[in-house]
Amino acid sequence: MSLSWRCSATDGAARRGVLRTAHGAVETPVFMPVGTAGTVKAMTADAVRATGARMVLGNTYHLMLRPGAERVARLGGLHRMMDWQGPILTDSGGFQVMSLAALREMDEQGVTFRSHLDGSRHRLTPERSVEIQRLLGADVTMCLDECTPFPASEPVAADSMRRSMRWAARCREAFVPRPGHGLFGIVQGSTYPALRAESVAALAGIGFEGYAVGGLAVGEGQPAMFAVLDCTLPLLPASAPRYLMGVGTPADILGAVRRGIDMFDCVIPTRSGRTGRAYTSRGVLNLRNARHAEDARPLDPACPCPACTRHSRAYLHHLIKAAEMLGPMLLTWHNIQYYQDLTRGLREAISAGRLDAHCAEVEAGWAAGDAPPEDNIGDDPAAAALAEDREAPL
């Protein structure tokens, strides 16, 4: 039996459920930390697990270039390499090809590009993307799609979406069914409701184990993103999991869960951790700020992570200012912990039928924090994703 999802409770449009995969069951709504190049940066697999995270994401583009998909397969697959026993979702590589690779040439069959690492020439087709994800050992494989630029005119967005739908059919054909594994289709169509509806109909006609809403978190802003979810999600099959790719801030996640999204990934918690930013129950704190230099309080008294239970804001500030490795490690741990606690709280609130009240409490906590307004800038998922891919290796 392929990967499956079962709904266990609803509250309004929000859903709680369980995703069953070859590497275990995961409760949804779920936030998946991003393990770009076969590691969640600055975290051991045990540390990721200790936050409550049960599913992570791997990047096809980065892994196909280095160390190479065939090599990962010879070494026992991505789970074995990372020592990660839980499920892994891999993206298709398309997003990074468009945002990172040099000399991209797109045609009906696929995309040819040069590696940003050494200039070597590579080709990604729907069939090859699915094959790479199988070699990596992904529990959830994503269809290769064309990332429609934002903004795009309606005719451009329509052509791009229709090519992605043709590619989705080829991905379905290329996918080798295996127990506990599944293939997700990706809804495109930019901000045009009619195109989103056409895309949903095309994907539902092919049939997938899950559906992602793509082409968001590309700079359109939260109101436009929520508007796309409002017109897209009611059209999707209710029995399948729904994944919002590359999103987002805690506030994005609250709004998307309330609209019926089940799965998320984003570089924001890990990337922000490495740059000294902490997401807390009282808003965002920038640990670089000198006002933390002698602050003996914990980062977030409500958080069970080592950064909060064993250290002060002053020490974390010192580590970040001194560019010590432990600073990014502790803040990454904290941010992933915060995202896991946030999604666990949402799951429990859905089961209890008090999601609206719970979200109001969470938002009141953020508003009650003492962070100055300037600490709250810079958490745009699109900017974070681009910065993540262009970051020089340590």
Kindly list the residues in this chain that would bind Zn ion in the complex (CB under 5 A).
303, 305, 307-308, 334
372: which DSSP letter? -
Question: 280 forms bridges with which residues in the sheet?
Answer: 283
Residue 234 is encoded by which pair of tokens?
């009611």
Q: How far is the CB of 299 from Zn ion (least distance, A)?
A: 6
Closer Cβ to Zn ion, 195 or 307, answer by number: 307
Q: How far is the CB of 371 from Zn ion (least distance, A)?
A: 15
What residues contact 229, with CB distance under 8 A and at least 6 apart?
Answer: 213, 244, 256, 259, 260, 261
Task: Please pick, among 91, 145, 341, 379, the residue that the annotation labels catalytic.
Answer: 91
Q: How far is the CB of 331 from Zn ion (least distance, A)?
A: 9
Strands (E), the chain: 4-11, 14-21, 24-28, 30-32, 34-35, 56-58, 88-90, 102-106, 111-114, 121-124, 140-142, 182-187, 210-213, 242-244, 263-265, 277-280, 283-286
Closer Cβ to Zn ion, 135 or 362, answer by number: 362
Q: How far is the CB of 298 from Zn ion (least distance, A)?
A: 8
Q: Is 91 a catalytic residue?
A: yes
Task: Please pick, among 11, 145, 252, 265, the residue that the annotation labels catalytic.
Answer: 265
Distance CA 243, CA 213 (A): 6
Pairing of strands 56-58, 121-124: unpaired
Q: How far is the CB of 280 from Zn ion (least distance, A)?
A: 8
Q: Is 230 a catalytic residue?
A: no
SS3 for 194? helix
Omega cis (within 30) before 151: yes
Task: Using alpha carbons, list the distances in angstroms from residue 182 to 154, 265, 311.
Answer: 31, 17, 42
Distance CA 261, CA 264 (A): 8
- Any idea which residue has 């010192």 for tokens? 318
Q: How far is the CB of 325 from Zn ion (least distance, A)?
A: 18
Distance CA 39, CA 49 (A): 13
Closer Cβ to Zn ion, 196 or 334, answer by number: 334
355: which DSSP letter? H
Q: Which residues are catalytic?
A: 91, 265
